[in-house]
Homo-oligomer: A and B are copies of this chain.
């Protein structure tokens, strides 16, 4: 899979899986809704039910910005399986213009966000490496 194809599949995926590393070098894993813009992935803490907005994913990123993000496709015909992985560096977006632009892009992408604008914080992931795999 070439880089253009990986980016195209990444951009089209509605949900991704975000791995961060926490205390005791334990991995942590959550699904995220995201948008791809300018070779960065953005996601926002949103209104989906949560115990707290001081989320483990954010604490992990503050202590260790290395993240891995996977989008994939599963079906019974394993020759049609594929995945695309981003290895990158995450940061909480401090600049309010950049955060606002990311939220606008998320709202343009997800009607659910137009109904309930995500409050943030926003996280940007710089893509350092793209990997792709197909089952065929």
Contacts and interface: CB of A to CB of B under 8 A. Distances in A.
Interface of A: 14-15, 17, 19-21, 24-31, 48-49, 64, 66-70, 72, 74, 76, 78, 81, 83, 85, 87, 111-112, 133-136
Copies of this chain present? 2
18 contacts: A15-B72, A17-B17, A19-B28, A19-B68, A21-B21, A21-B27, A24-B66, A25-B25, A26-B66, A26-B68, A27-B27, A27-B66, A27-B67, A29-B29, A29-B68, A29-B69, A30-B83, A31-B72
Contacts of A27: 19-21, 27, 66-68
A16 to B, nearest CB: 10
